[in-house]
Amino acid sequence: MQPRIETLAQKKLIGKKLIMSIANNATFKLWQAFMPVRKEIKNKLSNDLFSIQVYPPTFNFKNFDITIEFTKWAAIEVSDFNEVSDNMESFILPGGLYAVFDYKGLSTNAKIFEYIFSTWIPNSNYVVDNRPHFELLGEKYKNNDPSSEEEIWIPIKTKA
C-alpha cells in the first residue's frame, strides 16, 4: 500500500479531548462524549470528523510503550473560533507534509499501523515528524464495519 504525499495547510478544529494510552484506550468514551454535542459547533467547513493523536516528542513508533500517554481529540474543522461552546475546546492542527494512507476495514485492526511504522516508513525517504497524527473520517466511514473507509494522515519529513 503506497500513500500519497500531501502538504496540509493549517486547520482550525473544535472538539473534545482526552488523555489516554494504548493500554488504557478511551477512544470510545471520547467519541461517545463528542458525537451528541457536535451539532453545537458553529461555522463547520464540512461534516468530516477528525480523530487526532498528539504524541509526546519522545514517543517511539518503532518500539513504543503501550503505557505512554498521549492526547486524543474528536473534532470538526471550522472557519474560525468565534463561537466555542463551554464544553468544547479549540485546536490548531499545524500544517506540513503528510503521508496519507487510504484505508478500508475495521478501525480496530492495528495491522495498517504496523505496516506504516515497521515497513513503509523505514523503507521510504521519510521519517515521522513531531506533529499530530490523524484519521479523517468522511462520508464513507462506518464505525465497526469492515467496509468502512478512512484516511490515515502520518506527519513526515525528509530523512536527513
CATH assignment of the domain containing 81: 3.20.80.10
Cell numbers at 152, concatenated: 490515515
User: Of the candidates 158, 159, 152, which has an alpha carbon nearest to the alpha carbon of residue 136?
Assistant: 152
Start-to-end Cα distance in the chain? 24
| Burial class of 149 by CB neighbour count within 10 A (0 to 12, 13 to 18, 19+) | middle
Cβ count within 10 A of residue 65: 10
pLDDT tens for the chain, 160 residues long, are 899 999 999 999 999 999 999 889 999 999 999 999 999 998 999 999 999 999 998 888 777 788 999 999 999 999 999 989 889 999 999 999 999 999 998 877 778 888 999 999 999 999 999 999 999 998 898 887 888 889 999 999 999 8
Residue pair 90/116 in contact (Cβ under 8 Å)? The answer is no
Domain that holds residue 55: 4-158
Beta strands 70-78 and 89-93, pairing class? unpaired
Based on the structure, what is the number of domains in the chain?
Answer: 1
State the pTM of this model: 0.93
